[in-house]
Amino acid sequence: MGYERSPAYVPGQKGAYKLSRSRIENFIRCPRCFWLAQRLKIDQPSSPPFLINSAIDTLLKAEFDVYREKGEPHPWQIEFKVDAKPFAHKDLERWRHTFTGVQHLHEPTNLLIFGGVDDVWVTPDDELVVVDYKATAKNKEITDLEDSKWHDSYRRQMEVYQWLLRGEGHKVSDTGYFVYANGIASGKGFFNKVEFRTNIFPYKGSDKWVEPTLAKIKETLEGDMPKENPDCEYCAYARARTQLTLDAIKATSKTEPA
Ligand code: SF4
């Protein structure tokens, strides 16, 4: 089955509008780019996916599935004192699939939000725990998300999944976990092998911002094109290029014989 491009939003539309979790992130970054993508289907050029990261995600999923099947905690959950084990549920496959994911129709806006979660664990009190796998290669040990703004999108990602699972009627813990695999680049050579050190650490989320943001998204979808971000280098580039093209057209039309 081929991937179908999602339709543009039509102002005043009666039917639900499907919006992925990453589109909420796009809106937070720049309402104008979001508007261009959803209303006119003009997307920023995409960059190629990080296939090494996807491979690590796939392997981590397979590894946690072994313990899910046994109904036991993964040894890392014991090492990092996480009081939970991989959750087995009939919907897990759908929750993890990019194009279906965990879904919730937000009735006040009629936006159908969805997103594929990496993993879900369960506590002894039957609370679901959102889990996000990350892979990187940094010199220092990664034991938290640090204070950087760069990681705000990771925080929001986890909070949207918590909101989505609650929307599907589950009891969800505010505490989620990052499974962070860090590639070690200090060996004597590659030899077809990269060693990783994986840490698991908690993050306490709050999904309070999600619904007010959906209300703003709806308002933006219904409205005119928002202003650009003056600091954005993409918009500066697009403007400069357009101006150059217009100047070139003008110059050519002046030199052409009547
Ligand atoms: S400022 Fe322009 S290019 Fe940059 S994110 Fe917004 S609309 Fe897109």
Atom 8, ligand 1: residue with shortest CA distance: 33
- Residues 25, 153 within the same domain: yes
Q: Which distant-in-sequence residues (6+ apart) come within 8 Å of 68 by Cβ? A: 85, 86, 87, 88
| Single-letter residue type at 9 | Y
More confident residue, 139 or 84: 84
Q: Within a domain: residue 258? A: yes
Question: Can you state the percent helix, strand and coil of the chain, rounding each to 5?
Answer: 40, 20, 40
- Residues 159, 256 within the same domain: no
Helices (H), the chain: 21-29, 31-40, 51-70, 75-79, 92-96, 152-167, 210-222, 233-255
The mean pLDDT value for 167-179 works out to: 97
Q: Is beta strand 128-136 parallel, antiparallel or unpaired with respect to 102-106?
A: unpaired
- Residues 243, 200 within the same domain: no
Q: Within a domain: residue 60? A: yes
| 97 contacts 116 by C-beta, under 8 angstroms | yes
Q: Within a domain: residue 2? A: no
- The pLDDT, as a whole number, for residue 258 is 58
Helix, strand or coil, per DSSP, at residue 161: helix
Q: Within a domain: residue 7? A: no
Q: Is 237 in the pocket of ligand 1 (CB under 6 A)?
A: no
- The pLDDT, as a whole number, for residue 115 is 97
1 pLDDT more than 50:
no
Atom 2, ligand 1: residue with shortest CA distance: 235
- Residues 133, 256 within the same domain: no
- Residues 168, 241 within the same domain: no
Tell me the average pLDDT of the chain. 92
Phi, psi of 52, rounded to the nearest 5 degrees: -65, -45
Atom 7, ligand 1: residue with shortest CA distance: 33
Q: What is the count of structural domains for the chain?
A: 2
Q: Is 37 in the pocket of ligand 1 (CB under 6 A)?
A: no
pLDDT digits (tens, 9 = 90+) for 20-76: 999 999 999 999 999 999 999 999 888 878 888 999 999 999 999 999 999 999 999
pLDDT digits (tens, 9 = 90+) for 188-198: 899 999 999 99
- Ligand 1 mean position, distance from CA 164 (Å): 28
Which of 9, 21, 13, 256 is closest to 159 using CA atoms? 21
**CATH number of the domain to which 199 belongs:** 3.90.320
What CA–CA distance (Å, rounded) separates 66 from 43? 39
pLDDT digits (tens, 9 = 90+) for 197-235: 999 999 999 999 999 999 999 999 999 999 988 888 888
Q: Which domain holds residue 137?
A: 17-222
- Ligand 1 mean position, distance from CA 242 (Å): 14
- Range with top average pLDDT, 2-6, 205-209, 244-248, 252-256: 205-209
- Residues 67, 162 within the same domain: yes
- Residues 28, 136 within the same domain: yes
What CA–CA distance (Å, rounded) separates 197 from 249? 57
